[in-house]
Amino acid sequence: ISRMTPSFLAFIGIALIVIVTPGPDTAVTTRNVFAGGMRGGIFTSLGVATGLSIWALAASAGITALLVASEPLFVALKIVGGAYLVYLGIQSLVSAFRAGDWKVLAQAGAARRRLGAGVAYRQGLISDLSNPKIAAFFTSLLPQFVPQQGATFADFAMLGITFAAITLVWLIFYSWMIATAGNLLARPRIRRALEAAMGAVLVALGIRLATDPR
């Protein structure tokens, strides 16, 4: 770590900017806070962080470079990832407009009963692992912050795991902000509108991921 200190600090700065910029992981976390409360947000965050850690280790081992270099694999994973985001978005839209949700959402604790911890974790994990742009991001970013000569697997892995850890802390804090917004989000009309909006955002992100060129 000592030989990487200046680069490591620069990496932290860039990581913070990238992490707080809203994207698919933020959208999925937001959706699951609406659907499962703070608990849903925490477990989604853990799933996202696990996915990032896997990508980080794969990038450190050079596996993601092979994925990025393979056009068919990269495109296939983009389509799968985009389809999964669209699927989650449609689920939110259906939930928002389903008959009877007005009363269900008005009941105390209803959100927490609608989304289990395991489901939230799995959704965070799958949405992250099915996004090949993270592989491309790690492949292009990490080499810029390791020693020019003698870089090891541990050097790359430390940066990637650090990125995942910062993401975890940010998403949990973000989940807390949404979950503690108070009575405003507890109102059925407001919650339905927000859930519908997040569903539309997820569908749009999914289509963009699947169709956007490299």
pLDDT for 9-56, tens place per residue?
A: 888 999 999 899 888 899 999 989 888 889 999 999 999 999 999 999
DSSP class of residue 55? H
Q: Is the dihedral of CA 90, 91, 92, 98 positive or negative?
A: positive
- What is the C-alpha separation between 199 and 165, in angstroms, rounded? 27
The pLDDT, as a whole number, for residue 211 is 84
Give the least confident one: 66-70, 78-82, 159-163.
66-70
The pLDDT, as a whole number, for residue 103 is 47
State both tokens at 118.
């395991």
The pLDDT, as a whole number, for residue 54 is 95
- What is the C-alpha separation between 165 and 3, in angstroms, rounded? 21
The residue that leads in pLDDT, 133 or 170, is 170
- What is the C-alpha separation between 129 and 135, in angstroms, rounded? 9
Find out whether 94 and 18 touch, Cβ atoms under 8 Å: no
Q: What are phi and psi of 106, to 5 degrees?
A: -80, -15
State both tokens at 104.
């269900």
DSSP class of residue 174? H
The residue that leads in pLDDT, 205 or 17, is 17
Question: What rounded mean pLDDT belongs to the chain?
Answer: 81
State both tokens at 53.
């850690």
- What is the C-alpha separation between 35 and 177, in angstroms, rounded? 15
Q: Residue 129 pLDDT more than 60?
A: yes
Q: Which of 212, 204, 161, 181 is nearest to 23 (CA)?
A: 204
Q: Name the band, by pLDDT with cuts 50, 70 and 90, for residue 201.
A: confident
**Per-residue pLDDT tens for 136-183?**
888 888 888 887 676 788 888 999 999 999 999 999 999 999 888 755
Q: Name the band, by pLDDT with cuts 50, 70 and 90, for residue 57.
A: very high
The pLDDT, as a whole number, for residue 37 is 87
